[in-house]
């Protein structure tokens, strides 16, 4: 009998935006509708099919509840909660039910954070050199960091990336993940034989994207609003949080994990 291949399933999404300036070149970080930080996160799920089943059952139960009958986001035509869970759009009552379910799904989450006040400085420096800060480069760099040490533990990796608007950048993201694997091999001397398949899709297609969306949302609320109650509901799932621009103690940023748990008072205030 052939030995069963091990497969790791990963789901990648972002929170915040990469808007830095308005049309006149003025910094608008932190203004209404513009985030102060940009995050990319990845959720490892041991059982994607079970996750899909549990989230779909919860949504079916909520849609059948007369309490939500006339709520706009619960109508299929709006393509919101009626189709998939999205923390920003879901009602507080719905969000609470999702947050209660998530700890039972076995997700392991890593998130990399850039503070936009520092991206502004980088953009200005590049402008002086007649160059430009590309949002895609920022995104790809965070993807590379997140997968640096994750692609050698199974025979096959399946990575699903949330589509960014109407853009499909499969080749660039494949290159970013390939560089992550190369960097790991150079650093450790361990050669990875794992196969890696990369897909892009929408949260309505992949329940894992709904899982990482909620974890990103909870962490963003903590960083931008100082509101940590959502984060603490999900705290055990966060295996690594990289605050790359908080260089008060280390040049590569502040990393939070089991050995350095994240607490609100540890976070450097976010400007904007």
Closest CA to 54 of 105, 90, 108: 105
Closest CA to 55 of 158, 168, 204: 204
Cα separations (Å) of 235 from 144, 208, 227? 24, 18, 13
CA distance linking residue 40 with residue 142, whole number of Å: 6
**Residue 156 bridge partners (DSSP):** 7, 195
CB contact set of 127 (below 8 Å; sequence gap of 6+): none
Q: Is the pLDDT of residue 184 over 80?
A: no
Helix (H/G/I), strand (E/B), else coil: 175 = helix
Among 40-49, 64-73, 127-136, 156-165, where is mean pLDDT lowest?
156-165
Q: Is the pLDDT of residue 68 over 60?
A: yes
Q: 166-182, pLDDT tens digit by residue?
A: 555 566 777 777 777 77
Q: Which helix (H) or strand (E) holds 184?
A: helix 170-188
Strand runs labelled E in 51-137: 108-115
Residue with tokens 């997140």: 146
Q: What structural domains does the chain harbor?
A: 7-266 (3.30.420)
pTM, to two decimals: 0.93
Sign of the torsion angle spanned by Cα atoms 34, 38, 43, 48: positive
Q: 206-253, pLDDT tens digit by residue?
A: 999 999 999 999 999 999 999 999 999 999 999 999 999 999 999 999
Q: Is the pLDDT of residue 2 over 70?
A: no
Q: Is the pLDDT of residue 3 over 60?
A: yes
Q: Is the pLDDT of residue 128 over 50?
A: yes
Q: 44-55, pLDDT tens digit by residue?
A: 999 999 999 999
């Amino acid at each position: 009998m052939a030995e069963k291949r091990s497969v790791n399933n990963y789901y990648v999404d972002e929170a915040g935006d990469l808007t830095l300036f308005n049309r006149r070149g003025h910094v608008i970080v932190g203004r209404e509708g513009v985030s102060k930080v940009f995050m990319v996160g990845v959720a490892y799920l041991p059982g994607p099919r079970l996750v899909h089943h549990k989230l779909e059952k919860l949504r079916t139960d909520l849609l059948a509840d007369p309490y939500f009958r006339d709520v706009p986001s619960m109508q299929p035509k709006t393509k919101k909660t009626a189709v998939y869970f999205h923390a920003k759009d879901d009602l507080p009552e719905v969000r609470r039910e999702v947050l209660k379910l998530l700890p039972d799904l076995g997700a392991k989450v890593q998130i990399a954070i850039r503070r936009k006040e520092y991206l502004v400085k980088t953009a200005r420096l590049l402008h002086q050199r007649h160059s430009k800060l590309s949002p895609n480069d920022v995104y790809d760099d965070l993807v590379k960091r997140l997968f640096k040490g994750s692609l050698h533990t199974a025979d096959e990796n399946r990575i699903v990336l949330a589509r960014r608007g109407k853009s499909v950048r499969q080749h660039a993201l494949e290159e970013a993940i390939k560089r992550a694997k190369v960097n790991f091999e150079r650093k450790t001397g361990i050669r990875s034989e794992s196969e890696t398949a990369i897909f892009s899709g929408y949260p309505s297609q992949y329940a894992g994207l709904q899982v990482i969306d909620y974890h990103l949302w909870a962490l963003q609320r903590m960083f931008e609003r100082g509101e940590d109650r959502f984060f603490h509901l999900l705290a055990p799932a966060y295996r690594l949080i990289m605050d790359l621009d908080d260089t008060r103690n280390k040049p590569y940023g502040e990393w939070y994990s089991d050995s350095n748990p994240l607490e609100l008072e540890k976070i450097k205030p976010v400007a904007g």
